[in-house]
Amino acid sequence: MGDWKTITVPVLSADSKNILPYTSERKLSPTSMNSQVLRLPLPLSQNMHSFFSAFCTEDNIEQSISYIDRELTTLGFPSIYAESKGKELNIVSIINCINELLVLQHKSLRAQEEVEMQHLKLGSDMDHLQNCYAKLKEQLELSKREIVGLQERDRQLQSKNRNLHQLLKNEKDEVQKLQNIISSRATQYNHDMKRKEREYNKLKERLHQLVMNKKDKKITMEVLNYVGRADGKRGAWRTDKTEARNEEEMYKILLSDYEQRQKQLLLENAELKKVLQQMKKDIISLLPPQKQKPKERSEDGLVLSDQEEDIGELNKENMWELSCETVREQLTNSIRKQWRMLKNHVEKLDNQ
């Protein structure tokens, strides 16, 4: 049937022959402005009269009516001519056709408006979806950048974690080495102390025996042969005076040897104490610093100084008993304390 176009239908009023134009115009959405051309209604001026006069004039009225009748018949409307009267127009049929055309025009206008409204809604939805798509695209790019940043941060944290594990392993190895050194030195120190104690007991028994034999003359040394002196001089006669002098010299020699041995033992004990103090400092350097109040620190310092003074006095009064019992107990307690601190520190490192 062809495309629908803007149709102008003249309607004659009962009182006059004025023409009331009914036109349809298509409302277009902004998105369809580039694809379709807006159809404008015909102007309601003198141009309207020239438009109708171009189609129907006084000379071609019959041809125009025949054309309209054919078009209406083609569209399915009844003929505007009366069947019994030949070419005479049927006013009722014409009015009904005009009414049907008006109804169809109104329906088409309403349908067109609904379609245009739907088109506008679809255009608005399309714009909204495009905006949503742009926002989602921006969010996707932002998420990708965040993921890249998080991956880089995760990589750095994993590298840092590996380094910390390696450091922890090295610390554990170092602590194990120190523990082995401490145990070996403690064992060596205990052996040395036991050996010193045995030597001390032997010397003490020997000295006691010599003191007791001073009154008992039964056990004496007899010179079987002449023993020459280094200077070649002849020895003095054996008298009570010379025997007393020789006995005094022997005691002096024994005391000097005893003092020399005592000095050596003191030096060895001092060296062992220095070694233990150095080991203690090394262990403390490995442990985390403990926060103490100044008063507590001062009190601890006073206690330690008092203990050191007491130990010094005990060393002067009873050096042998101190080296055997007190020193061993002090060293054992100190090593146990440092060992507990070291064990707690290692456990904390394992928990971290």
- What pLDDT is attached to residue 211? 74
For 58-79, b where at least 16 C-beta lie within 10 A, e where not — what string?
eeeeeeebeebbeebeeeebbe
pLDDT in tens, the chain (352 residues): 334 333 333 433 333 333 333 333 333 333 343 333 333 343 344 444 454 446 788 888 888 888 888 888 888 888 777 766 566 777 888 888 888 889 999 999 999 999 999 999 999 999 999 999 999 999 999 999 999 999 999 999 999 999 999 999 999 999 999 999 999 999 998 898 898 888 888 888 887 787 777 656 554 555 555 555 556 565 555 566 666 777 788 888 888 888 998 888 888 888 888 877 877 777 777 666 654 444 444 444 444 444 444 444 444 444 444 555 676 677 778 777 877 777 787 778 778 7
Q: Where are the domains of the chain?
A: 253-286
Half-sphere CA count of 48, side-chain side, radius 13 A: 15
CB-CB contact of 331 with 189 (8 Å): yes
Q: What is the pLDDT of residue 220?
A: 53
pLDDT at res. 309: 46
Measured between alpha carbons, how far is 111 from 104 in angstroms, rounded to an integer?
A: 10
Confidence (pLDDT) at 298: 45
Question: Where does residue 251 rank: exposed (0-12), middle (13-18), buried (19+ CB within 10 A)?
Answer: middle
Give the per-residue pLDDT at 118: 95
